Structure 1
């Protein structure tokens, strides 16, 4: 995916202007990466801080496009030795949902030692071994620790061997017990690839800078706005009845964040296909005389009307009568909770119908479950602003 820096004034503002020219933008896209995390699980860490470190890693990988052809992730924890049974390798999981869940399940070991060197060796020789990594993929390792290892010379040698294996090493030190020299050694002598924070709660403050540092490929400068180069008719589809009040509010915030971005003004048109709430006003007292008939009618309320709305979009959404432009790209953004009963199966056919018409289809899940729906593109889970940013990045750069 595309990584874009955020300014304090506008979360979608684009920084890194080249040569000071207005409207000339440089962005970062993540090429295939083998991304390894080495996480301290020693006794000097408080259990809540270990959970914070895991949350940091979970949030960090959400910024990447995870998959066999994109970014693959591994993790090893350590303390009194290493704990391979708690971590996973590059090929263990193939999507971000599985990885995030697996990280959440990693236990805190409270090891009475800090075997950083042994963990780095394991990362290099097992997780990022030559017969495991993909040809041409960049190899990146991020070590997160709160203290000095018991054998700093071993750590230095292990980091040097990782560097010799063409692994780019980053060191994140947390707290006041971290030895700066050891961080620099872990990073292969490159101080610019070391970071220190006062405590685990401040890990989130370095996420953006670390994402930028792990950028492996830069997009060419973009002279014109996205709408000029990628004119698109974008239709948002959602069913307020099945989403409920909170997720409907998330949806309207997501749409507002998308259309308010500077890149999304010129060249874009927006539409909405949505159900009434409720879609069915009910039935009168004398409509049914049998309990079975009433129960059958009640089943109507157990199902989302969203598949019908998507079918409606396929029939009339991208026609001249609906305001569509012949020269514009056709985009449908379907907002749904993919964990709801049967919704993925019920959406697959109408989504396929849209795609057969040349419509690019995205799925946004405000609940964070984000199951795959047919061949539609899944936006990563997060706040409405973060999902809007992901959508804009995909529309403008992929």
Structure 2
């Protein structure tokens, strides 16, 4: 597609050359929340979002229990004991964890009890075995224990009817434990977003192949696939498409009905081999915008094909790394109703300088400890990924600045 043809096509376009905020607004406007739900085993629910409130159907613990190994008895029987004047109580029986006794303990009596065991009626405290003579038929208690000391009440963790996990909660290891403590084996969750990644570029080869002259290895596929796993999506397709508009058109048409989002990389500029414009036009896609006022990621192209959003990123690896968090992450947050994907920002103190002039909105790889932020040395070009190793944030720099200074506050986006 020639530059003049592109200009003609652009006349029917809604927006071009947007600010980051305008681009995000357009991306989110075309990102639909996923309302479909599914029942999944709790052990397979990690990273998914609850589609309903989880209400306790029982008290936990479901009985009064002992938090120690020792003896359960009445506090009044041992209120004034000492090493010199111990109380001697009759031991009725031993209750181990998992056992339940229907006896009622009277004055002058006790039961041997283990951690987690149900406390029988009549007892209002539990004595550490270290404060006794470890007796079996009778037990001497040398130290007083207050009423309700060393005693776990029924429902101490949670009460029946309590909403323990709200709709929209992302299930992690703690939530999985809470669900199990409620007796749940399944959880009703929103299905994950289904995503396809299509990379293009005749100059790239798959890792593992012998590298031919003039070729480079494709790092964008693995970068995107790994980040999609971080975000908890279902990666439906991961494919390399040859640099022909018709091939990309077919790939988009084939996969679109099966996914919620298509991500492509490469071929979004105006060169002879930049096929994405023509491929999307051949598919009959609606182009929403082209170009964002940011670096890296400026040539981003966004379209919609039969209700499926298609975001086409540049082929520069650092541009892909920035765009996946800055642009795609908010889309997935909305689709999956997952607050854990919300972009997190904070102000941090710069520990070193970035002397390059910033003409437009720019994003710089960096490392933060939560209070200060350091820009790594080495190349910062869009095609360089190696210097991003170990980085955990991006510094957002506004245009018109002659770089940064040590000690000034920087706007940091946490990755």
Query: Structure 1-normalised TM-score?
Result: 0.27
Query: Which protein has the bigger strand share?
Result: 2
Bigger radius of gyration among the two: 2
Query: Structure 2-normalised TM-score?
Result: 0.26
Q: Which has the higher contact order (CA 8 A, sep 6+)?
A: 2
